[in-house]
Amino acid sequence: MDGKYCIQSSFENKIPEIKKYHPYMFEIINNLTQFNDVTLDFINKNYNKIFPQNSRVIGVNVRGIAYGSQRYFRHVRQPSINEIIELVKEKLDEWEMEYIYFACELEAHVERMKEEFGEKVLYLNRMRYVEDHKPDEANPLYISGMRRQVNLEYLTEMVMLSKCNALISGISSGEKAAIIWNNHNYEHIKIISHGLWS
């Protein structure tokens, strides 16, 4: 679904009337979301470092591991990186955008975007999975002592996603947070829905 204020996602199917509450919901949640000084400083420093001033940016978000590449029963299926690339190629010109801000936890996807779009790709320099993560293996992003940093970086990615001019995303909790924090300022939203793994 492509629209200024339209969100196609699993929660919308469960609560069809949610659209009429969006303005109130967004305002309430934004008023309740207050970052501490350390978090806000980390977000702002990275945003100012990564985003060129007065630029037009498509925010692109996809889960690269788990939901994206393997069957997780009743979890949301993600678009492939090739599908994302083709859609970004189409929308860059159509929406008159200059850059692509890419939020993803899989290093291979970041590298693939850079190969395709070169210096147009903006991204947060953060810890990522270097290869596909298997469900029965220990999660390398959540080893002892790393959780705070990993969570801070993920939060920062989603806040910066909310500061883009437009959004292309698979369905995830991060996508929903970005839409709420954006507070109806996206010019375009394209959410890719492929249903659930069975």
Is the residue at 198 inside a domain? no
Q: Looking at the predicted structure, is the pLDDT value of residue 99 above 80?
A: yes
123 versus 72: which is more confidently predicted?
123
Confidence of residue 171 (pLDDT cuts 50, 70, 90): confident
CB-count exposure of residue 144 (10 Å: 0-12, 13-18, 19+): exposed
What gap in Å lies between CA 170 and CA 166, rounded to an integer? Answer: 14
Query: Has residue 120 got a pLDDT over 90?
Result: yes
Number of domains in the chain: 1
On whether the CB atoms of residues 120 and 98 are closer than 8 A, the answer is yes
Alpha helices in 33-135 (DSSP H): 37-50, 81-94, 107-117
> Which comes out higher in pLDDT, residue 67 or 54?
54
CATH of the domain at 125: 3.40.50.11350
User: Which residues, in sequence order, are CB contacts of 40 under 8 Å at separation 6+?
Assistant: none
Quote the percentage of the chain above a pLDDT of 90.
47
Q: Is the pLDDT of residue 3 over 50?
A: no
Distance CA 80, CA 69 (A): 8
Is 2 inside a domain boundary?
Answer: no
pLDDT of 141 reads 72
| Averaged pLDDT for residues 75-103 | 93
Would residue 197 count as lying in a domain? Answer: no
Structural domain containing residue 112: 10-192
Q: How confident is the model at residue 73 (pLDDT cuts 50, 70, 90)?
A: low
What per-residue confidence (pLDDT) applies to 32?
78
Distances (CA, A) of 166 to 79, 163, 189: 18, 9, 6
Instruction: Report yes or no on 3 lying in a domain.
Output: no
